[in-house]
């Protein structure tokens, strides 16, 4: 990422910060830290203290399409060619929440908004840029319900099921997005970080004692969870899902 301008959404989260730190370590020219909490992003930027990389906190709330459009407009005003974006931000609501745009929250934040954001930013992409979408292993568990999956998620909500379907929707949308961006030879991939120690893991207090024994030893650090996304960004491949050590083509 040396000398490149990139965007990290969800930059204040565990994996988001790890991606920002990795970009700084690789001497990126600019990292736009896109997130809801700009004050926290500014604090993280001051903690990282980079002399070679410009860190720019910017407001982005994927739960509001208006914010997505505003972010794309504001980024365009920076006049920077976009060399890559890590669509890292995500949500796993514990109860049904409908956004102001009329969508179930996880569906919008995890799928609809990242796709919209990437398309809005398309005019600013440089040739051979990368797009990395964050998917999840839960995509393999829950099936989609055709073109009505977004509506299905509003009427058949479950925390893990809805989350898993939103990630599967996103993954299956990647080939179409890659086709749209093919003229600029932009690579579009997914990254599956595995189970990462982040705020998204919020176990019931009665389950925690068992989970600490059987589950938590397998949870990855944020830095390790960022590796699949970094592998996806560096790879010449497109339309693949990257994990810690492997990659697999996304079939239409």
Which of the residues are catalytic?
Answer: 163
Please determine, for residue 144, whether its predicted confidence score (pLDDT) is greater than 50.
yes
Instruction: Note the pLDDT tens digit of each residue in 24-75.
Output: 999 999 999 999 999 999 999 999 988 889 999 999 999 999 999 999 999 9
**Closest alpha carbon to 249 in 193, 190, 195, 194:** 190
* Residues 6 or more apart in contact with residue 35 via CB below 8 angstroms: 9, 10, 11, 12, 13, 16, 41, 57, 58, 59, 60, 89
Mean pLDDT to the nearest integer, 197-215: 49
Instruction: Note the pLDDT tens digit of each residue in 113-135.
Output: 999 999 999 999 999 999 999 99
Mean pLDDT to the nearest integer, 170-174: 95
Edge-to-edge order in the sheet of strand 187-191 = 54-59, 30-35, 5-9, 82-87, 125-134, 187-191, 240-242, 247-249
**pLDDT attached to residue 209:** 54
Residue range of the domain that includes 128: 5-246
**pLDDT attached to residue 203:** 43
> When comparing pLDDT for 101 and 220, which is higher?
101
Token pair 């049904």 in the structure block, residue: 96
**pLDDT attached to residue 217:** 57
Is residue 251 a part of any domain in this protein?
Answer: no
Q: Cα dihedral angle (78, 80, 86, 88), rounded to 10 degrees?
A: 0
Q: What is the mean pLDDT of the chain?
A: 88
Is residue 252 a part of any domain in this protein?
Answer: no
> When comparing pLDDT for 169 and 198, which is higher?
169
**pLDDT attached to residue 155:** 81
**pLDDT attached to residue 73:** 97
Please determine, for residue 247, whether its predicted confidence score (pLDDT) is greater than 60.
yes
**pLDDT attached to residue 225:** 86
**Closest alpha carbon to 245 in 192, 189, 198:** 192
- Residue 39 sits in a domain whose CATH number is 3.40.50.720
Q: What is the largest CA-CA distance in the chain?
A: 53
Distance between CA atoms of 54 and 34, rounded to whole angstroms?
14
| β-pair partners for 57 | 33
In 88-221 the beta strands, taken as DSSP E runs, fall at: 125-134, 187-191
**Global pTM value:** 0.89
- The total number of structural domains in the chain stands at 1
> When comparing pLDDT for 144 and 115, which is higher?
115
**pLDDT attached to residue 218:** 58
**Helix axis angle, 113-121 to 159-180, nearest 10°:** 20
Please determine, for residue 8, whether its predicted confidence score (pLDDT) is greater than 60.
yes
Lowest mean pLDDT among 43-57, 86-100, 186-200: 186-200
In the chain the beta strands, taken as DSSP E runs, fall at: 5-9, 30-35, 54-59, 82-87, 125-134, 187-191, 240-242, 247-249
Q: Which letter does DSSP use for residue 76 in this model?
A: H
Distance between CA atoms of 125 and 184, rounded to whole angstroms?
8
Is residue 225 a part of any domain in this protein?
Answer: yes
User: Do residues 6 and 27 make contact, with C-beta atoms less than 8 angstroms apart?
Assistant: no
Is residue 224 a part of any domain in this protein?
Answer: yes
**pLDDT attached to residue 219:** 67
Structure tokens that stand for 224 in this block = 């390790």
Residue 239 pLDDT grade (very low, low, confident, very high; cuts 50, 70, 90):
very high
Q: Cα–chain-centroid distance for residue 223?
A: 15
* Residues 6 or more apart in contact with residue 183 via CB below 8 angstroms: none
Please determine, for residue 216, whether its predicted confidence score (pLDDT) is greater than 70.
no
């Amino acid at each position: 990422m040396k000398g490149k301008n990139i965007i990290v959404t969800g930059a204040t989260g565990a994996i988001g910060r790890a991606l920002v730190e990795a970009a700084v370590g690789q001497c990126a020219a600019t990292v736009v830290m896109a997130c809801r909490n700009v004050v926290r992003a500014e604090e993280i930027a001051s903690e990282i203290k980079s002399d070679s990389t410009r860190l720019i906190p910017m407001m982005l709330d994927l739960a509001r399409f208006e914010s997505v459009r505003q972010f794309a407009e504001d980024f365009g005003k920076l006049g920077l060619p976009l060399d890559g974006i890590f669509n890292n931000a995500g949500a796993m609501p514990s109860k049904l929440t409908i956004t102001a745009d009329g969508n179930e929250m996880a569906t919008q934040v995890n799928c609809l908004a990242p796709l919209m954001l990437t398309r809005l930013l398309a005019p600013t992409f440089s040739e051979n840029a990368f797009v990395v979408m964050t998917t999840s292993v839960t995509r393999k568990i829950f099936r989609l319900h055709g073109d009505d999956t977004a509506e299905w998620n509003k009427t058949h909500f479950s925390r893990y099921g809805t989350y898993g379907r939103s990630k599967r929707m996103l993954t299956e949308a990647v080939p179409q997005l890659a086709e749209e961006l093919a003229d600029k030879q932009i690579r579009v991939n997914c990254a599956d970080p595995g189970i990462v120690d982040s705020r998204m893991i919020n176990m019931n207090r009665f389950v925690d004692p068992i989970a600490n024994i059987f589950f938590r030893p397998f949870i990855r650090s944020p830095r390790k969870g960022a590796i699949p996304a970094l592998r996806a960004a560096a790879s010449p491949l497109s339309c693949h899902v990257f994990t810690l050590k492997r990659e697999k083509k996304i079939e239409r």
